[in-house]
Amino acid sequence: METTRRQFMASSAAATAGMLLAQGAAAQTGERSTNRPNIVLMFADDAGYGDLSCYGHPTIHTPNLDQLAGEGARFTSFYANPACTPARAALLTGRYPVRPGGVAGVIGPDSANGLPAEEITIATALKGEGYRTKCVGKWHLGHAEEEFMPTSHGFDEYFGLLYSNDMIRPWVNTDRPLELYRDTEPIEHPVDQYTLTTRYTEEAVRFIHDNADESFFLYLPYTMPHLPLATAEQFRGQSRAGLYGDVIEALDWSAGEVMNALREAGVADNTLVIWLSDNGPWINMPDRMLQEGPDGLVNKPWHAGSPGPFRDAKGTTYEGGVRVPAIVWWSDEVPAGRIIQEPANSMDLFTTILRACGADVPDDRPIDGNDLLPLLRGDTEDSPSQIYHYFRNHQLQAVRKGPWKLQLVTGEPELFHLDRDYMERFNVAQDYPDKVEELRALMEETAEETGATLP
């Protein structure tokens, strides 16, 4: 396996060197692509802020993602929703999922609801601009009706699981089987979870090569590292961080394969690549997850990632549940090695991607995401996302404005200055009553406008 990895890294380095030479030649002749960019959006499931080596993990090695960050931008204050379904709704629509038409709660295998057909996703907007579109991986935005399926939301093709990989017995009380889908038809049951990441990667690479002559949008929402953990044999036992490390390093391998495919297809320089997680790690997993599952799948308390230096985990609106790793790479557009400390969030990617592709941002509904292109390009150091609201289900629990965060979930106001106290250890609400009232008024206004409730 170590030989295979060395060979892979050597081939990756050679491909990168060739790419840089091509970029240099283009710069000397004054050439610059005027084509609409392709979009590759990779979305990990339950990966924590501290799970990548470029975010400080001491024993998990992620050389491909580290390279992406080194050649592009890495965010240190990037936010997502604290749970699976609403995180996907917010990402793809640019809207708080609590809004009418959104999906604020987690969809289960027997749920009847889903993302309505009238919602505009990134795929819907780009398909309208002539893009080829494909979703590979976990959908989790509804499946009870065909109108909820990926192919009804702008995707020409779909391959993956319709919801989380733990939504089978004994972890979830359901009689619906977990099935692998192609477009709208199930093609595998029971699902071989051990090969999901490698099969997703093969589908993604094939799509890139098949559409190299067209503008395309590839959405790659991985199933992993959501429990139960599973990975292909070539990755097992390779990480000093155990099985969880093996799974993360497999995702890193996948990102490397996607980048290699872009380079081999000759489209890397004209592709905007984004990698992020949907929420924080599941270190607070319930006891039901510690039962032994089918096909040798076993969960242990340590089969979860790291929130880094932040408080709490998935399912909460403390920083450990919502602050996630996020990397943006775009040759010649995003300066290499850029570290962005200003806050941004997953909804911003909707507006950013549409603007990058020359597509219109819908004006017939509230769009909560902002355009990050000036920030990514270094044209400004100020983020357009100076105010961010933290929702859990239909409840608005917290708000961040600049460095200040007001959290109401405990019943008593908790006020944190995140620049000075990013671990949320010191509640300074009594010291700054005016700031508490200012932020509380923001929350009340937003709750009324979106239809949310307050704690």
Q: Quote the CA–CA distance of 92 and 85 in Å, as a whole number.
A: 11
C-beta atoms surrounding 213 within 10 Å: 10
Tell me which of 57, 61, 140, 389 is the catalytic residue. Answer: 140
Query: pTM of the predicted model, to two decimals?
Result: 0.92
pLDDT at 24: 36
Most distant pair of Cα atoms in the chain: their distance:
63
pLDDT at 2: 39
Q: Could you tell me if 258 and 204 are in contact, meaning their C-beta atoms sit under 8 angstroms apart?
A: yes
Measuring CA to CA, which residue among 167, 217, 165 is closest to residue 195?
165
Q: Which two tokens stand for residue 117?
A: 């057909």
Tell me which of 57, 61, 84, 135 is the catalytic residue. Answer: 84
Number of H helices, E strands in the chain: 10, 15
Tell me, yes or no, if 140 is annotated catalytic.
Answer: yes
| Phi and psi torsions of 163, nearest 5° | -160, -170
Tell me, yes or no, if 135 is annotated catalytic.
Answer: no
User: Along the chain (455 residues), what's the average pLDDT of each consecutive run of 10 residues?
Assistant: 39 39 34 72 98 98 98 98 98 96 95 96 98 98 97 98 98 98 98 98 98 98 98 98 98 98 98 98 97 96 98 98 98 97 98 98 98 98 95 97 96 96 98 98 97 96
**Model confidence pLDDT, tens digit, residues 12-59:** 444 333 333 333 333 332 332 348 999 999 999 999 999 999 999 999
Which domains does the chain carry? 35-385 (3.40.720.10), 394-450 (3.30.1120.10)
Q: Quote the CA–CA distance of 407 and 411 in Å, as a whole number.
A: 9
**Model confidence pLDDT, tens digit, residues 207-255:** 999 999 999 999 999 999 999 999 999 999 999 999 999 999 999 999 9
Q: Which two tokens stand for residue 147?
A: 């109108």
Q: Quote the CA–CA distance of 433 and 225 in Å, as a whole number.
A: 41
